Chains A and B, each alone.
Chain A
Amino acid sequence: MNAAGYSQMVTANIIDLFSYQFFQNALIGGVIAAVACASVGLFLVLKKEAMIGDGLSHTAFGGIALGLFLGINPLLTALGVSLLAVFTISYMRRKKIAPTDSAIAVMLAMGFSTGLIVISIAGGFNVDLFSYLFGSILTIDSMDLALISMLGSAVLLFVGIFRRELLSMVFDEEDSRIMGVPTRRLSIIFDLLVAITIVLSIKVIGTILVVALLVLPGLCALKLNLSFRSTIITAIGFSVLSTLLGTIFSAVFKLAPAGVIVFVLVFFFFVTLIYKKLG
């Protein structure tokens, strides 16, 4: 087959894909997760707390194993365990039991080890646990989509309403407190939203790689030296574009979607890096 023929076949494949319900679910779910991750992730990057995303995503793994073991929707148990982890990290930080990074490390280890113990008790699961570890965007069903849409709307609504207060806190927390911003409450709610964002993204990209969707879009946008408004819009743009391109490429070339999505994001990161270096 010559190049023109091959390109025609690929185009036909892509057009075909869009007619399938499973692919439409994948794209809608992917876009919602991408928008939520980019908006929450930008604040995490600016707060220099990207590791909380990594910690919570690994903690969520324990919740997934627990859900599979108990026969409950694993996303719901992952949500419960992640929220519990957020409160525990916040408590440890507030009571000075451990600094934030150590508190995250403790919860990460506890969540992951819980998952391993539950798996060994269950003697393995019928359901492919790898689909939660590395995502399975093409298996998003209407129930998953409803949950992703609900959680995604909550995240976006909160960030949309409190974006200025969040930005003010990231920039100068002491001054924000004097101005009347309820910094402690907003911080806890924000951490809860990080947990929610991770859970809603598990099906799309998996617990291992979700941190990439949280961190890379914001990092790419920051390299362009824009205003805050343009930065958040650009971060969302990078995130959505990577998810769409990654999902389509992976379906056409039969590759792991999460890997391709992250690969596209890393590609954008290097492009913005070169753009910044050139001036």
Chain B
Amino acid sequence: MPTESLVLEVKNVEISRDGQKVIEDANFSINRGDYVGVVGPNGGGKTTLLSAILNFLPITKGSIRLFGTEIAKFKAWEKIAYISQQATSFENQFPLTVKELVSLGCIKKGNVGRRFRKEDWSAVDNSIRFMGLEDVANKRIGQLSGGQKQRVFVAKALARNPELILLDEPIVGVDSNAQERFYKKLSDLNIERKTTILIVTHDLTSVFCRMSKVLCVSKKVEEAKITDDLDANKLLKRAYGEHFHFVFHKHECSGVFTNGHC
């Protein structure tokens, strides 16, 4: 794979928290257009790994390169959007409409304190349209359902046209229909805009049906391409333990609303 298509490269990374190794010897790479599911047991280090990729947490060993640049020297953060676990935990009375929140996504290093231009507003409108939120654009975010809120956060991320979107357990507490719509939109985004997506989730069916790659994180990180002959059960047993059982065949994904990857 040519280096210009490398979005993220993690080499021999070790991360410690309070003197305890949380991640050890992580090695994997993510290329432009990959749709990656990050799975693993609770406390396995998924969020820690994401925090290190975002430079919120220092690594104790190894190297992380974003778009070919060592993370410590990386400056082009506008290429990356992040949707945290807490993103939707705001109070319902927070005074923001969908359009106002999505417009906050247009803020970047170059325009801090400046008036938004026409292009910024059209990016806001396009993102709202892409995520199917036109009908609720002027509603306050507190009035939306869980699924709608999540789509608003993706729209906010899209407003600055990022090349990589990182999502940390974005669909907790959302019903299955809303999950379907949410994953469908992410698939559209990945296919139509070639946006690289890395999503931490416990929804294994969605990962194996829709995504191109899986990272199993349980202190160690195991990377696997999702193909017809991938033995998902074997892979997941190594992360979740021998008691874990997950039967998966690609053809079963036909019941799931997929878009392109299967």
State whether A180 and B84 are in contact (beta carbons under 8 Å apart), knowing that A228-B95, A231-B95 are contacts in the complex.
no
Q: Nearest Cβ distance between residue A187 and chain B, in whole angstroms?
A: 14
Residues facing A in B135-166 (CB within 8 A) are 138, 140, 142, 160
0/1 string, A171-198, CB within 8 A of B gives 1: 1101110111110000000000000000
A164–B90 Cα distance when bound, in Å, is 17
State whether A172 and B84 are in contact (beta carbons under 8 Å apart), knowing that A178-B54, A179-B108, A228-B95 are contacts in the complex.
yes
* Residue contact A167 to B97, C-beta cutoff 8 Å: no
A174–B93 Cα distance when bound, in Å, is 21
Instruction: Say if the beta carbon of A229 comes within 8 Å of chain B.
Output: yes
Q: Nearest Cβ distance between residue B36 and chain A, in whole angstroms?
A: 18
- Interface size of B by CB at 8 A reads 32
Stretch in contact with the other chain, from A65-73, A115-123, A219-227, A240-248: A219-227
Chain A residues with CB under 8 A of B56: 174
* Residue contact B78 to A180, C-beta cutoff 8 Å: yes
Q: Contacting B96 at CB < 8 Å: which of A162, A171, A180, A182?
A: A171
A161–B116 Cα distance when bound, in Å, is 11
Instruction: Say if the beta carbon of B188 comes within 8 Å of chain A.
Output: no
* Residue contact B113 to A175, C-beta cutoff 8 Å: no
Chain A binding surface, main DSSP class: helix
A194–B88 Cα distance when bound, in Å, is 28
Instruction: Say if the beta carbon of B22 comes within 8 Å of chain A.
Output: no
Instruction: Say if the beta carbon of A88 comes within 8 Å of chain B.
Output: no
Q: Contacting B107 at CB < 8 Å: which of A174, A179, A225?
A: A179
* Residue contact B95 to A226, C-beta cutoff 8 Å: yes
Chain A residues with CB under 8 A of B103: 164
* Residue contact A46 to B107, C-beta cutoff 8 Å: no
Q: Nearest Cβ distance between residue B249 and chain A, in whole angstroms?
A: 38
Interface residues on A, range: 20 to 34
Q: Nearest Cβ distance between residue B65 and chain A, in whole angstroms?
A: 17
Known pairs A174-B56, A228-B96, A228-B97; list 19 more (Cβ under 8 Å).
Answer: A164-B103, A164-B104, A165-B112, A165-B113, A171-B94, A171-B96, A174-B82, A174-B84, A175-B82, A176-B107, A178-B80, A179-B109, A181-B107, A181-B112, A182-B112, A225-B140, A226-B140, A227-B96, A227-B100
- Across the A-B interface, give the 4 residue pairs with the lowest CB-CB distance, nearest first: A180-B109, A231-B95, A227-B97, A168-B104
Instruction: Report which A residues bind B (CB closer than 8 A).
Output: 46, 161-162, 164-165, 167-168, 171-172, 174-176, 178-182, 221-223, 225-231
Query: Could you write out 24 A-B pairs with CB less than 8 Å apart?
Result: A162-B112, A162-B113, A164-B103, A168-B104, A171-B90, A171-B94, A171-B104, A172-B86, A174-B82, A175-B82, A175-B84, A178-B80, A178-B82, A179-B107, A179-B108, A180-B77, A180-B78, A180-B108, A180-B110, A181-B107, A181-B112, A182-B112, A227-B97, A227-B140
Instruction: Report which B residues bind A (CB closer than 8 A).
Output: 54, 56, 77-78, 80-84, 86-87, 90, 93-97, 100-101, 103-105, 107-110, 112-113, 138, 140, 142, 160
